[in-house]
Amino acid sequence: MTTSTAHGPGLDAELAYARRMDRIDGLGHYRARFIGTEADAPTPVVYLDGNSLGRPTRATLDRMARFVTGAWGSGLSRSWEEEWMDLPLRIGDSLGRAALGAAPGQVFVGDSTTVMLYKLARAAVDARPGRNEIVVDTDNFPTDRYVLEGIAAERGLALRWITSAPAGGVTAGQVRDVVGPRTALVLLSHVAYRSGFLADVREITRVAHDAGALVLWDLCHSAGAVPIELDLWAVDLAVGCSYKYLSGGPGSPAFGYVRDDLQNLLVQPIQGWMGAAEVFSMGPEYAPADGIRRFMSGTPAIVSMLAMQDTIAMIEEAGIEDVRAKSVALTEFAIALVDEWLTPMGVTLASPREHTHRGGHLTINHWAMREVTATLWQHDVIPDFRAPEGLRVGLSPLSTSFVETYEGVAAVRDVLRGILLARSGLVPPERGQQSGTGL
Ligand SMILES: *Cc1c(COP(=O)(O)O)cnc(C)c1O
């Protein structure tokens, strides 16, 4: 990429590059299938937070309307038997096929990620009696760490912390150093929520198994963006969000994976009627169902399972390998822009440079990022902020274009430049905020 001096409204080399990339992008046409992309949005939003809440699809708009009048409005309670009772398992199978490398009967859609983590982690530690440690890393997502603290207190276990590099993540070597005959469970994230570091699931799983421990992988920031091979990698348990790259909508429930041969050996702690062997016999005592159904608890959140079906179908159609190739191209482009425009202003990349170690998002650090993010939101440019000084750039492969990526990083550049100029006293704040393109 050439250095551009003209950052005004004219066409610069980076914008020309972004437009060319969009033209030759084999997945470019998927963008128009999402609500809020240029074609139908009066003020197009530059969205860099699809890794936190994915954009909705147009197909979902139709599906929701059909659902209200059809299966719900006309089918009424008959629809439980006709289609809803098995829906969490059917969606699980299609997700397993499209994005998780999981054969049927091992994935279901259930509770929130937090509750699902609790259920599977508790089941796992109970299946390793005599072992009293759970391995987790210091930079894992708060809910993952908090849930484990609770389980440790409840079961008299100790947490064994791996200190993860904030701009990197947990390596197989670090796991090898802490696991042993005391380890019951290892819980790690496939893609780190802050740095975007991509962990070596296969190798770390092997290391944990060599020590006799079970592994639970958190796939929240990888499902739908990074190819996953749960069966091939011999993973025991996994949990992931559906409202991030899977565009399930705010608060849509998580999916859980339990490997076939483990299912009937594990007992999860939220013993509800939907996970019982005979749901409608309403018997006096709980007896768990065989197979994956035993990990269910209460009435499934059917309304919240509508949207994800459209995204899962889209991912299967596009092919997860191609989705990943686009994701890598987007993050490479964003890093090139950061290097060129933002590094001279003191911004540092807090994500792996090597794409083989990186998921679908980046974090860039600067002391002014809290203010930068707040200003960008007012101008319909939406990244998110992660304390203490990180701006997270999430690039959803099916809905984000190269031009959108260009516009987002250019907006960060212009707002940051304005703030720095204002601080240096060279221009009053009002003018500083307005300098540059498009804002
Ligand atoms: C987003 C995310 C969660 C969210 O959990 P909820 O129960 O859905 O709030 C948990 N873990 C990780 C790693 C995440 O990225």
Q: Which residues pair with residue 258 across a beta bridge?
A: 237
Q: Are 367 and 387 in contact (CB under 8 A)?
A: no
245 lines ligand 1 (CB under 6 A): no
Distance, in Å, from the CA atom of 377 to the CA atom of 381, rounded to the nearest integer, reads 5
Given the residues 137, 218, 384, 414, select the one marked as catalytic: 218
Asked if 255 is an active-site residue, the reply is no
112 lines ligand 1 (CB under 6 A): yes
Distance, in Å, from the CA atom of 216 to the CA atom of 295, rounded to the nearest integer, reads 15
Asked if 261 is an active-site residue, the reply is no
Q: Please report the beta strands in 116-213, taking only residues with DSSP state E, as ranges in sequence order.
A: 133-137, 158-162, 183-189
Mean local confidence (pLDDT), 344-361:
98
Q: What are phi and psi of 107, to 5 degrees?
A: -125, 140
Give the position, in ligand 1's atom list, of the atom nearest the Cα of 221.
Answer: 15
Distance, in Å, from the CA atom of 203 to the CA atom of 304, rounded to the nearest integer, reads 35
pLDDT of res. 438: 37
CA of 65 to the centre of ligand 1 (A): 28
Tokens at 261, concatenated: 């041969």
Every domain of the chain and the residues it spans:
8-56+319-424, 86-241+254-299
- Residue 280 pLDDT level (bands cut at 50, 70, 90): confident
Ligand 1, pocket-test mutation among 113, 118, 244, most atoms within 8 A of CB: 113
205 lines ligand 1 (CB under 6 A): no
Laid out side by side, the sheet with 348-349 consists of 348-349, 361-365, 390-394, 384-386
Say if residue 172's pLDDT is above 80. yes
Asked if 218 is an active-site residue, the reply is yes
Mean local confidence (pLDDT), 239-247:
98
Q: What are phi and psi of 281, to 5 degrees?
A: -85, -15
CA of 141 to the centre of ligand 1 (A): 7
139 lines ligand 1 (CB under 6 A): no
Distance, in Å, from the CA atom of 316 to the CA atom of 33, rounded to the nearest integer, reads 15
1-13 confidence digits (pLDDT tens): 444 444 455 579 9
CA of 298 to the centre of ligand 1 (A): 20
Q: Which of 33-42, 92-101, 144-153, 400-409 is predicted least confidently? A: 33-42
Helices and strands: H and E segment counts in the chain: 13, 13
217-240 burial: b if 16+ Cβ within 10 Å, else e: bbbbbbbbbbebebbebebbbbbb
CA of 246 to the centre of ligand 1 (A): 13
Q: What are phi and psi of 282, to 5 degrees?
A: 50, 45
pLDDT of res. 9: 52
**Is it true that domain 8-56+319-424 has CATH number 2.40.50.140?**
no
pLDDT of res. 427: 65
Mean local confidence (pLDDT), 197-213:
98
Q: Which SS3 state, helix, strand or coil, does residue 213 take?
A: coil
Ligand 1, pocket-test mutation among 188, 189, 241, most atoms within 8 A of CB: 241
* Element spanning 365, H or E: strand 361-365
pLDDT of res. 361: 98
CA of 138 to the centre of ligand 1 (A): 15
Given the residues 31, 122, 293, 392, select the one marked as catalytic: 392
Mean local confidence (pLDDT), 401-405:
97
Omega of the bond prior to 388 within 30 degrees of 0, cis?
yes
- Residue 434 pLDDT level (bands cut at 50, 70, 90): very low
Given the residues 17, 47, 118, 141, select the one marked as catalytic: 141
Distance, in Å, from the CA atom of 125 to the CA atom of 182, rounded to the nearest integer, reads 11
Q: Give the alpha-carbon dihedral of 109, 113, 115, 117, to 10 degrees.
A: 100
Distance, in Å, from the CA atom of 275 to the CA atom of 280, rounded to the nearest integer, reads 11
Among 3.40.50.720, 3.50.30.30, 3.10.20.740, 3.40.640.10, name the CATH number for the domain at 86-241+254-299: 3.40.640.10
Minimum CA distance residue for ligand 1 atom 13: 141
Q: pTM of the full predicted structure? A: 0.94
193 lines ligand 1 (CB under 6 A): yes
Q: Are 410 and 438 in contact (CB under 8 A)?
A: yes
At a CB cut-off of 8 Å and minimum separation 6, what does 392 contact?
Answer: 48, 49, 51, 52, 194, 361, 362, 363, 383, 384, 385, 386
Asked if 243 is an active-site residue, the reply is yes
Say if residue 426's pLDDT is above 90. no
220 lines ligand 1 (CB under 6 A): yes
Say if residue 40's pLDDT is above 70. no
Percent of the chain with pLDDT over 70: 94
Ligand 1, pocket-test mutation among 116, 220, 226, 252, most atoms within 8 A of CB: 220
Query: How many CB atoms are located within 10 Å of the residue 210 CB?
Result: 10
Q: Which of 38-42, 137-141, 272-276, 299-303 is predicted least confidently? A: 38-42
246 lines ligand 1 (CB under 6 A): no
Say if residue 46's pLDDT is above 70. yes
Q: Are 186 and 211 in contact (CB under 8 A)?
A: no
Tokens at 410, concatenated: 């250019």
114 lines ligand 1 (CB under 6 A): yes
Q: How far is CA 166 from CA 16, 53, 350, 370, in A?
A: 34, 23, 7, 18
- Residue 39 pLDDT level (bands cut at 50, 70, 90): low
Distance, in Å, from the CA atom of 319 to the CA atom of 324, rounded to the nearest integer, reads 9
- Residue 57 pLDDT level (bands cut at 50, 70, 90): very high
113 lines ligand 1 (CB under 6 A): yes
- Residue 179 pLDDT level (bands cut at 50, 70, 90): very high
Query: How many CB atoms are located within 10 Å of the residue 260 CB?
Result: 14
Q: Which residues pair with residue 264 across a beta bridge?
A: none
Give the position, in ligand 1's atom list, of the atom nearest the Cα of 141.
Answer: 13
